[in-house]
Amino acid sequence: MATQTRPAFAPEHVPPELIWDHSLSEFNSELDDPFMAASRLLDGPPLIYARDGAQGRPGWVIARHALLKEAFIDWEHFSSEGGMDLTQMLGVDWNLNPVNIDPPMHTIYRKVLTPFFTPKAVGHMEEGVRETCDELISKFEEKGGCDFVKDFAIPFPSMIFLRLMGMPEDMLNQFFEWEQKLLRGTSIEERVQTGRDILDYLIFHLEQQKQKPATPLMENILNARIADGRPLTDGEILGMFYTFYVGGLDTVYATISWSMRHIATHPEYQQFLRDNPDKMDKAVMEMLRMFSVVSSQRRVTKDFVWHGVQMKENDLVIMPIFIACRDPEAYPKPNEMDLNRSEQPLAFASGPHLCLGMHLARREIKIAIQTFLEKFDNIHIPEGAHYEYHAGPTFNVDSLPIAWTKKG
């Protein structure tokens, strides 16, 4: 990883041996499996400084489970504020809420939303989640196969998100197209325009909700009182809406898709889950570990030395959970399924920013996998077919053709 001449992207405080003249997303795309590609960084230093750590920006990449877990907890040195370029790109004076806000305000905002995402609250949603799952499967179950991503994985969590938000389901394809262009647009101009299109819609949605909230979640946000008893500002509410939008349409579909690819290529594991339904909860956690798809970002708040490395104020820090979750120091034989692991996966991050929607995500994944295994035997990728993926800030499956034998 050492270079002979210091490249322009690497500040003077970065040791030469830690300079990595590479794009993380391109590196992760070099193999058939991006998780295996990314985990190659575990063979090098625990911290490197990449030319392109995230969407063209240089920054530190944390390549160990223990360090990533520590950084998630240490919000005083690794701030969630200013780590992403989305709100700067939009030209707004608010952050994604509460994901890009540090304590103590993070805690205050989170309390507004937490009641709707507790295990008990998610339990009340289960019937609706199962109905959504069955509704989607009914469209293709007699056909003997489908493109799992297009026909199920994308619409399944997205429809649940839209119902939570009170947004029109007939706009699902538009919402998802916007989200993909925002995160993976080929030019900054395309990403900026798409980001503003989304914001325009969310402003419209907020005005509609002010007239008549469509769901209990919307009603709670609009009636919330924080700090000195004041209501949330429009910017604070739009920050929440944008957070739900980006999170609700991306990560769950990706994890479900990678999990189904594993099931479709491992018939013995598929049958094990059918024969041992009591193991499903542990299986979901292990699939979340193996197929953790997210990379978070943080901003260094002040100059300090961390694990022997000088870090400077405003350095960008990339926190690839998909690497940490394949670290053999935390998970022996990390590329194998093991339902008896003691270390919990970092799939939902850690510390104050532990994912608000984790209970809902786990329930969605469990119901999806359960239902496919109950309805279909011999789930597999047809001969001659292949899957497609891309490995940007999130590891997404773009296409996953599967076939099955329908149970009698």
Domain ranges of the chain: 16-406
Tell me the pLDDT band of 191, cut-offs 50, 70 and 90: confident
pLDDT tens digits, residue range 27-51?
999 999 999 999 999 999 999 999 9
Distances (CA, A) of 216 to 44, 166, 244: 49, 9, 15
> What confidence score (pLDDT) does residue 408 get?
65
First to last CA, the chain: 57
pLDDT of the residue at 84: 59
Q: Say what the pLDDT of residue 317 is.
A: 96
Mean pLDDT of the 260-285 span = 96
- Percent of the chain at pLDDT above 90? 78
pLDDT at 1 over 60: no
- Over the chain, what is the mean pLDDT? 92
Q: Is the pLDDT of residue 19 over 90?
A: yes
The CATH number of the structural domain formed by 16-406 is: 1.10.630.10
pTM over 0.85: yes
The pLDDT assigned to 4 comes to: 58
Q: Is residue 2 scored above 60 in pLDDT?
A: no
Say which residue, 407 or 8, is predicted with more confidence: 8
pLDDT at 183 over 60: yes
- pLDDT tens digit string along 89-116? 888 889 889 989 999 999 999 999 999 9
Residue 377: helix, strand or coil by DSSP? strand
Interval 118-131 mean pLDDT: 94
**Calpha distance 295→23 (Å, rounded):** 14
Instruction: Please give the pLDDT value at position 280.
Output: 96
Q: Are 68 and 306 in contact (CB under 8 A)?
A: no
* pLDDT for position 249: 74
The answer to whether residues 72 and 349 touch, using CB atoms and an 8 Å cutoff, is yes
Looking at residue 3, its pLDDT comes to 45
Question: Beta partners for 295?
Answer: 320
